[in-house]
Amino acid sequence: MSGNDDDFFKGDEGEAVSEFERLIDLLFQHVSEFADDQEVPDELLPLLLLQLSMTTRMMAYTTSVAKPSASGLKLDLDRFRRDAEDLIREMKKEAERFIAQAKEAIAASDLEDDGT
């Protein structure tokens, strides 16, 4: 990612990546529990998270500048969109590996279910 996100974790890059991954795992666990508890359809969850992400970014902008403005918010949302596009490009590069791992996990789960 680019912009302000580059400075989020200070210090050793490997340590920062590990911390970021740890936070992703924790957030994923909480979101998964929420989705299960609320019976959120798989197709709806990404849209809920995107809306939450946008709202959080907008609130962060508003509280981080001395004089928030609509034009400043629009510029910040443009930066956020570029960051999101960068992330999507990176995820697309990993699509084949992701699908292979997902298939392996599904097969392993099916074997466990058949064995019980």
| The length of the chain, given as a count of residues | 116
The answer on pLDDT for 6 being more than 60 is no
**Mean pLDDT calculated for residue range 104-116:** 84
Angle at which helix 95-115 crosses helix 70-93, to 10 degrees, equals 70
The answer on pLDDT for 10 being more than 90 is no
The answer on pLDDT for 4 being more than 90 is no
pLDDT at 13: 85
The answer on pLDDT for 35 being more than 90 is yes
Q: Quick one: what percent of the chain has pLDDT higher than 90?
A: 80
Quote the Cα angle for 60-62-67, to 5°: 140
Least confident of 26-30, 44-48, 104-108: 104-108
Confirm if 24 and 16 have CB atoms less than 8 A apart: no
pLDDT at 77: 98
pLDDT at 2: 41
